[in-house]
Amino acid sequence: MDRKQFLTRSLKATMGAMVAGPVILHANSCASPEDPGNVAETGPSGAGIGPLVFAQAPLAYAYAALEPHIDGRTMELHYTKHHAGYVRKINEAIAEEKIDASDEIDLFARIPAWSTKARNNGGGAWNHDLFWKLMGPGNTGTPSGKVLDAINASFGSFDGFKEVFTDAAMKRFGSGWAWLVEQDGKLVIGSTPNQDNPLMADAELRGKPLLGLDVWEHAYYLNYQNKRNEYVAAWWSVVNWDVVAGRLG
């Protein structure tokens, strides 16, 4: 088959597997036998010029499912406007700059090589995909098992951990993210500006992201106005700790 057929075929195969997860599509990845599923609905048609294509995975819950902690209107705008915009613009940047990264790890590991547009929108696309998956309705608000053990070992207690994480979220001036990362087998808390993330080669905080909190005003202003502290406090109720456990090595 020619290159266009190959791209289309492998893209559709990846899209089929995507409902459950990855935001990154590799045009050069191996085709899988899964049914393409709802490609027309979610496929980034027109993208795919470069070897790496980002797509917006469907939300696993309704916009209003996180109420009263995070309101439906904020979720809808955040997903359909902000996140969708980052995904569109990183694909533009990949095409414009002929970015040859093979996957998101490679993209972020070499991020200083490319434009601010690639950095901000690549980070925005990836960070939000993780953020949606880290939340959901019907959560207990507290971790258990190996995550709780790791938190206790690093921070003394879950309350102690929440205090340090909240402090990182509150002290991030302007827009950015608070993170819990795994760094050489240890858990570390910190934050990054803008849409930077700990996978970026020159990020202020480096490591494997386990938990991330969006502290841009667009994430909370409709419901909480300037009260970031109330948003952070409410957010614990919607964290899906099973996803954190799955990311912990």
Give backbone dihedrals phi and psi of 239, rounded to 5 degrees, phi first.
-70, 130
**Helix or strand holding residue 11 (H, E):** helix 3-18
- Interface with Mn ion includes 220 (CB under 5 A)? no
- Interface with Mn ion includes 129 (CB under 5 A)? no
- Interface with Mn ion includes 214 (CB under 5 A)? yes
114-134 exposure pattern, b = at least 16 Cβ within 10 A, e = fewer: beeebbbbbbbbbbbbbbbbb
Q: Which is nearer to Mn ion, 12 or 78 (CB)?
A: 78
Applying CB under 5 A, the span of 9-17, 58-66, 151-159, 210-218 interacting with Mn ion comes to 210-218
Please, what is the minimum distance in Å from the beta carbon of residue 10 to Mn ion? Answer: 30
Q: Which of residues 92-111 bind Mn ion (CB under 5 A)?
A: none
Q: Which is nearer to Mn ion, 165 or 216 (CB)?
A: 216
Residues 6+ apart with CB under 8 A from 43: 11, 12, 15, 55
Applying CB under 5 A, the span of 23-31, 33-41, 167-175, 211-219 interacting with Mn ion comes to 211-219
Applying CB under 5 A, the span of 31-39, 57-65, 90-98, 216-224 interacting with Mn ion comes to 216-224
Residues 6+ apart with CB under 8 A from 172: 178, 191, 192, 193, 215
Q: Which is nearer to Mn ion, 27 or 214 (CB)?
A: 214
- Residues 155-194: x where in contact with Mn ion by CB under 5 A, - otherwise, as a string: ----------------------------------------
Task: Return the residue nearest Mn ion (CB atom).
Answer: 214
Among 216, 220, 235, 241, binds Mn ion (CB under 5 A): 216
224: tokens are: 């909480």
Please, what is the minimum distance in Å from the beta carbon of residue 98 to Mn ion? Answer: 28
Instruction: Measure Cα distances from 122 to 19, 38, 88, 168 in Å.
Output: 20, 24, 10, 23
Compute, in degrees rounded to 10, the torsion defined by CA atoms 43, 49, 52, 57. -10
152: tokens are: 């206790």
Q: In terms of Cα–Cα distance, which of 167, 176, 182 is closest to 233?
A: 167
Q: Which is nearer to Mn ion, 126 or 155 (CB)?
A: 126
Residues in the site for Mn ion, rule: CB under 5 A? 214, 216
